[in-house]
A and B are shown apart, each in its own frame.
Chain A
Amino acid sequence: MAVPGTELSTRLPGALKDAAIAAFIALALFVFLIGIRTVDAAGVFPLRARPWLLAVFVGAIFTGRLALNLFWWNGSETSGTLAKALAPVTGLAERSARWLAPALIAFAAFLPFMPFADRYVLDVSIMVLTYIMLGWGLNVVVGLAGLLDLGYVAFYAVGAYSYALIATHFGLSFWVSLPLAGLLAALWGIILGFPVLRLRGDYLAIVTLAFGEMIRIILINWYSLTNGPDGISRIPRPSFFGLQLTRNGEPSFHEYFGLTYSPLQRITYLFYIILALALLTNFVTKRLRNLPIGRAWEALREDEIACRSLGINTRNTKLTAFAIGAMFGGFAGSFFATRQGFISPESFTFIESAIILAIVVLGGMGSQIGVVVAAVVMIGGFELFRELEQFRMLMFGAAMVAIMIWRPRGLITAREPSVYLKEKKPVSADLVQEGHG
């Protein structure tokens, strides 16, 4: 590491040494995994050496580390430089929360009528909104109640399968099935929440993860109900007050309103459905925070023992958090099923849970606007790299690590207090337990 406040030339030898060590470690790490490639075709020597690729990687690490040493870590604080550099940006986001949220909602409401809003933009927006909704739903469990749930995708799956099964077997419409699917998901939230009431922290995380995987395995293997890995197809689309948004629907939306048919109408309609669902999630969460139950959640997160000694029923508090979070997950799942028209257990892997949790934590736990920022950054960024199919997940994982190290408290660190005297003052995340507030 460089010595504080010295000239570039005097820092050079140390920087070179440090970079050389880094390059050596990189060489050791990559020599087998990058330097040699196993060839898929069967042969006598199914290996192929890739010395140049290895050299490129090691060289990149050497120069990167050297540059970091010389120009970035100016000898002073090694950490927080980037955070300081970006502080105005994030600070602005925090201060502007008052008008940012209405502005974002207005932007979202008019998005389908913007000139650039083609089918691709709308599809991506629908996906981002779905994740925002999931993030807000999970925020109830993780951000408010402090229960680390790594199996949130289970409720998403329950919602999706409930809707798909109800709609295909009983022919109920989307708007009837949606609350049913939400209720079923909430029920599952209670069923899965009950056994884990006594667990906390990491143990809770791993058990909920196991639950998520169990639900997926059951979905794969219960062939008679779920059609197994083949999934359920031809799931009905939502209707607009009985009007179908398809070309040959009877009665059809475009004929009723005298419009020419365009598939964009259906996408736009779906966009507004998910926007409404997401805003409903946000609204309900915000209101719940002011109710006794919401305060009990936050108290539970801060100190469970104190909570219990104050007479809060921790069992019911935890179960309501699980149930409400699960219900929103179920709504989002129903929406997912009706949007895709086809669902299979493949859509509900652990990686989905990890993405949703990452959105909540990277956004700054408990922060509603943070979830929006994180979802746009993560899912939008993910979408930007669509060309690089192979490297997408790799970048995603690396970004998760990098953002967390750079801002462990999440992108939006200030918290809005739910109870205050006379005026609201943002609370720094450092002042609350577990970093969420």
Chain B
Amino acid sequence: MEYFLQQLINGLTLGSIYGLIAIGYTMVYGIIGMINFAHGDIFMVGAFIALISFIALLSAGLTFVPLALLIVLIISMSFTAMWGWTVERIAYRPLRASFRLAPLITAIGMSITLQNFVQTAQGARVKPLQPIISGGFEIMEHDGFIVNLSYMQILIILITVGLMIAFSLIISRTPLGRAQRACEQDRTMAELSGINVDRTISLTFVMGAALAAVAGVMYLLYYGVIDFYIGFIAGIKAFTAAVLGGIGSLPGAMLGGMIIGLIEVFWSAYFSIDYKDVAAFSMLVLVLIFMPSGLLGRPEVEKV
């Protein structure tokens, strides 16, 4: 029971990270109908920017953790958003009128480029970060097994919930969100009614990248090590989460992320840690076969 509870907490934390990345996939897929293959690597870039700015701040003498964390979050979000914007501008916008496969190929190319760019610029080794936030609550103890809820986990879940609420409000209440939903439904019609479609799509990428950056910061703090390859597997799992929740749906992405995180953690805890990725991928296959529109998604109507 205690073991179960502990895994539940770990799973929800991991799920929050996946969920934040999944939002980027789901928004982009919703608006231009493509899998932004480079999104996982945008997350990795976010983690790297966070790592570098963290070390820079700490060595500059800023040791007050909440302030440092806030600054790092802002830096990572804004600079990663710039990367997201650039990737869209370079690799996807010129191909908007092209056939469906073209942007997928450039997305894969961008993913390879980003991974190898970071590898060349920062080195291939695993990058450690000293623990920033330590400590936590002991929820319960039984037979010497302590269930821990660390401050880190609380922080991750709180930030995720906060960002979820903020982004749901942006999508549902602001003119930008309205424009996004309009582009999602009918891009031509949205353009005719005066919406700057290119700008809206760019902003979608910017938002997705900013959320991926937050996920990157959390990943960095939670695991303490990153390398240039973390984006690939995390990206596929987050995409699985987006599909599971129903592509195009923001709460769905979050829910999917939580489920994928829980599946992964429980699978590792009770079955086999070697096959945890296989569990997540099998989940993707099963969902797509039996529930293609996901948990909260709308079924896709096929037109002739």
For A146, give the chain B residue with the smallest CB separation: B101
A38 partner residues in chain B, CB cutoff 8 A:
51-52, 55, 122-123, 127
Contacting pair A394 B289 (CB below 8 A)? no
Whether B136 is near chain A, meaning CB under 8 Å from some CB there, is no
- Which of B116, B125, B277 lies in contact with A397, CB distance below 8 A? B116
Whether B223 is near chain A, meaning CB under 8 Å from some CB there, is no
- Which of B52, B285, B304 lies in contact with A36, CB distance below 8 A? B52
- Which of B45, B56, B118, B284 lies in contact with A206, CB distance below 8 A? B284
- Which of A28, A33, A148, A214 lies in contact with B118, CB distance below 8 A? A33
Question: Chain B's nearest CB lies how many Å from the CB of A237?
Answer: 33
Question: Chain B's nearest CB lies how many Å from the CB of A216?
Answer: 10
Q: How far is the CA of A198 from the CA of B299 in the complex (A)?
A: 14
Question: Chain A's nearest CB lies how many Å from the CB of B45?
Answer: 7
Whether A32 is near chain B, meaning CB under 8 Å from some CB there, is yes
Residues of chain A in range 208-256 having any CB-CB distance to chain B below 8 Å: 209-211, 213-214, 217-218, 220-221
B125 partner residues in chain A, CB cutoff 8 A:
40
Residues of chain A in range 335-385 having any CB-CB distance to chain B below 8 Å: 350-351, 354, 357-358, 361-362, 365
Whether B203 is near chain A, meaning CB under 8 Å from some CB there, is no
Among B90, B109, B239, the one with the most A-chain Cβ atoms within 10 Å of its Cβ is: B109
Stretch at the interface among B10-18, B91-99, B253-261, B263-271: B91-99
A391 partner residues in chain B, CB cutoff 8 A:
116, 120
B29 partner residues in chain A, CB cutoff 8 A:
202
Contacting pair A199 B105 (CB below 8 A)? no
Q: How far is the CA of A46 from the CA of B123 in the complex (A)?
A: 13
For B112, give the chain A residue with the smallest CB separation: A397
For B91, give the chain A residue with the smallest CB separation: A401
Whether A103 is near chain B, meaning CB under 8 Å from some CB there, is no
Contacting pair A206 B239 (CB below 8 A)? yes
Q: How far is the CA of A351 from the CA of B115 in the complex (A)?
A: 11
Q: How far is the CA of A396 from the CA of B110 in the complex (A)?
A: 10
Whether B117 is near chain A, meaning CB under 8 Å from some CB there, is yes
Whether B106 is near chain A, meaning CB under 8 Å from some CB there, is yes
A36 partner residues in chain B, CB cutoff 8 A:
52, 56
Q: How far is the CA of A210 from the CA of B278 in the complex (A)?
A: 8
Whether B189 is near chain A, meaning CB under 8 Å from some CB there, is no
Contact code string A32-50 (vs B, CB < 8 Å = 1, else 0):
1110111010001111000
Q: How far is the CA of A40 from the CA of B121 in the complex (A)?
A: 12
- Which of B104, B106, B232, B274 lies in contact with A350, CB distance below 8 A? B232
Chain A at the B interface: mostly helix, strand, loop or mixed?
A: helix
Given A221-B275, A357-B108, A435-B102, residue A207 in contact with residue B288 (CB < 8 A): yes
For B33, give the chain A residue with the smallest CB separation: A202
B112 partner residues in chain A, CB cutoff 8 A:
351, 354, 393-394, 396-397, 400
Among B114, B275, B278, the one with the most A-chain Cβ atoms within 10 Å of its Cβ is: B278
Whether A263 is near chain B, meaning CB under 8 Å from some CB there, is no
Q: How far is the CA of A205 from the CA of B55 in the complex (A)?
A: 39
Contacting pair A404 B106 (CB below 8 A)? yes
Given A198-B289, A217-B274, residue A32 in contact with residue B120 (CB < 8 A): no
Q: How far is the CA of A207 from the CA of B35 in the complex (A)?
A: 12
A408 partner residues in chain B, CB cutoff 8 A:
95, 98-99, 102
B240 partner residues in chain A, CB cutoff 8 A:
210
Contacting pair B52 A394 (CB below 8 A)? no
Task: Enumerate 10 A-B pairs (CB-CB under 8 Å) in ascending A order.
Answer: A40-B123, A198-B289, A206-B35, A305-B302, A306-B304, A350-B232, A390-B120, A397-B115, A400-B113, A404-B95
Top 7 A-B pairs ranked by shortest CB distance?
A400-B109, A397-B112, A397-B113, A210-B281, A435-B99, A401-B109, A394-B116
Q: Which residues of B contact A (CB under 8 A)?
A: 29, 33-35, 45, 48-49, 51-53, 55-56, 59, 75, 79, 82-83, 86, 90-91, 94-95, 98-102, 104-106, 108-123, 125, 127, 232, 236, 239-240, 243, 274-275, 277-278, 281-282, 284-285, 288-289, 292, 302, 304
Q: Which residues of A contact B (CB under 8 A)?
A: 25, 28-29, 31-34, 36-38, 40, 44-47, 79, 148, 195-196, 198-199, 201-203, 205-207, 209-211, 213-214, 217-218, 220-221, 305-306, 350-351, 354, 357-358, 361-362, 365, 390-391, 393-394, 396-401, 404-405, 408-409, 433-435
